Amino acid sequence: MGKKSIIGLTIILIALGVIAWIFLVVPAEERPFFPVIPEEEEIEVKLKMGVAYSTNKDSKEAIQEAYTKMMAQLEGEKPIFIILTSTVGYDQEEVLAEANRLLPGVKIYGYTSLLGIMTNDGFHIGEEVGEGYVLSLMGFSSEEMIFGVGACGLDEVASSQEAGRVAITRAIENAGKTKEDVPKVVLISTSPFGIGEALVLTGVESVLGKTVPLVGGGAAAGHGDLVSGGEVLFANDKVYPRGVVVAPIYTDLKIGHAFLSGFNPTGDKGTVTKFEVVGGEARIIELDNMPAARVYNDWLDGAFEEYLGTSEMFLGKAVSYTLGEKIMETGGFINWKMIVPFHFNPDDSVTVGAPASEGTELHLLESDPDLFIKRPALTVRLARSRGEITEEEIAGVVMDQCGGSLLGIPVGISGWNEMVSLIGPAAGDAPFLGVSNLGPYGHFAGVGNRYGEVTASVLVFGKY
């Protein structure tokens, strides 16, 4: 035995002797404390999520490809709920039928997306962007969550408000719940644009009240003018071209939500003194008793002069210079309900995408490509903070973003991919689904639910 080995053995024997002396001689109350370090227990994952997409132009094959990839992420666990998104190029009846064949008994909620779909690895537009060939499936596997799906076609009822009330009533029944059971959050989508989105919210809130967050967006159509047709809603086994679909979620798991504009006020503001709905269009006739189009153009130093007296669409330009109603959220956080000008009219009124009742003070807000690129990630972080969800706890992220926001990023797909790349770190590399819609629905903390435009609305789901 070498000298080093003898020394090492001697040290061990001395240490054992000291320990033995402590336990045999020293009174128990005088013995030094040796803490017992428990083995680290693995926390049970209570929600597993997976998302996958396909750009295959064949409806059935695209669903099959997305299904196979999603199930691999779920490690073979059958989902209990699916968010199905699709651009308008597909045969939507065939898309939903194949999803139901592959996922029998699974509740399905969804709607069409503008231009493409966002996942962890980028912004996917597929081929033939004018209509679009890309779809996705996001699956939820959990024994700690109960979902309901309900829908109502506009042809079934007399008003958009009634459609909202009927849709949520059916969804509650589908979940096996009653009106007394309060969901944690409700997913919502509507079709087509301009059905009276604020009235839909009123209908849902007539059943649930104003404190339950409603999060989602309007189903989007082809990209040419954002409203060129083809938009639909998915509700279990039925496609709705016109209507409301909702999905209440009942759970004790953490869910964070945020509704963020990402615009800055310029200092210009005015009060709506005359507002009308003309031929289904929302029009601001006057701001501070002056022609609204003239006021808006003056605020922007004549930048929209060429559009005065016409009805020419200028949405691509106006998305960076929108109108906003100031909202003070819980904790003093200032946010904005966005109202986007679409075009002027010969009477110098302004057609906008959301109503602005008389007496509402509107501010001129501005953004830029950099803010549009950074905003989604900031919204994810805000939702995480409000849900008290750490990076390690994130099961998945769902984002509805107004498709008009994409028009504010003139570099196109490269800028859109940069936007998505910033979401990854914010989402903790958890499964992420981003949908481009025609105006999102969201909840202002301590205020209530609103329909807004050029805004991002986010849900972050916790896994424990």
Output DSSP code: residue 306. Answer: G
Q: Which residues pair with 363 in a beta bridge?
A: 269, 324
Q: What is the C-alpha separation between 66 and 323, in angstroms, rounded?
A: 39
For residue 126, the model assigns a pLDDT of: 75
For residue 128, the model assigns a pLDDT of: 66
What is the per-residue pLDDT across 325-360, written as a single tens digit (0 to 9) for each?
999 998 899 999 999 999 999 999 999 999 999 999
For residue 76, the model assigns a pLDDT of: 85
For residue 343, the model assigns a pLDDT of: 97
Torsion angle defined by CA atoms of residues 447, 170, 190 and 140, in that order, rounded to the nearest 10 degrees? 80
For residue 129, the model assigns a pLDDT of: 60
Q: Which two tokens stand for residue 75?
A: 């490690």
Question: Which amino acid, 83?
Answer: I
- Whether the CB-CB separation of 251 and 463 falls below 8 Å is answered with no
Q: Helix (H, G, I), strand (E, B), or coil: what is residue 53?
A: strand
What are the angstrom distances between the C-alpha of 165 and each of 220, 233, 238, 373, 458? 22, 17, 19, 36, 23
- Whether the CB-CB separation of 324 and 268 falls below 8 Å is answered with no
Interaxial angle between packed helices 160-174 and 197-208, expressed in degrees from 0 to 180 and rounded to the nearest 10? 40
For residue 224, the model assigns a pLDDT of: 52
What is the per-residue pLDDT across 83-117, written as a single tens digit (0 to 9) for each?
999 999 899 999 999 999 999 999 999 999 988 99
For residue 17, the model assigns a pLDDT of: 53
- Kindly report the number of other CB atoms within 10 A of residue 194's CB atom: 17
Total residue count of the chain as it appears in this document: 464
* 162: CB partners within 8 A, 6+ apart: 152, 203
For residue 21, the model assigns a pLDDT of: 47
Low-confidence stretches of the chain (pLDDT beneath 50): 4, 18-23, 26, 28-40
Q: Which two tokens stand for residue 427?
A: 């989402």
For residue 230, the model assigns a pLDDT of: 87
Helix (H) or strand (E) holding 109, with range, is strand 107-112
For residue 404, the model assigns a pLDDT of: 85
* 213: CB partners within 8 A, 6+ apart: 185, 186, 257, 442, 443, 449
Would you call 392 exposed, middle or buried from its count of C-beta atoms within 10 A (0-12, 13-18, 19+)?
exposed
- Whether the CB-CB separation of 150 and 246 falls below 8 Å is answered with yes
For residue 34, the model assigns a pLDDT of: 43
**Closest-CA residue to 187 (of 464, 442, 10):** 442
What are the angstrom distances between the C-alpha of 57 and each of 61, 304, 342? 8, 40, 32
Question: Which amino acid, 131?
Answer: E
Question: Which amino acid, 302?
Answer: G
- Whether the CB-CB separation of 186 and 168 falls below 8 Å is answered with yes
For residue 223, the model assigns a pLDDT of: 58
Cα maximum dimension of the chain:
104
For residue 261, the model assigns a pLDDT of: 87
CA pseudo-torsion sign 204, 209, 210, 213: negative
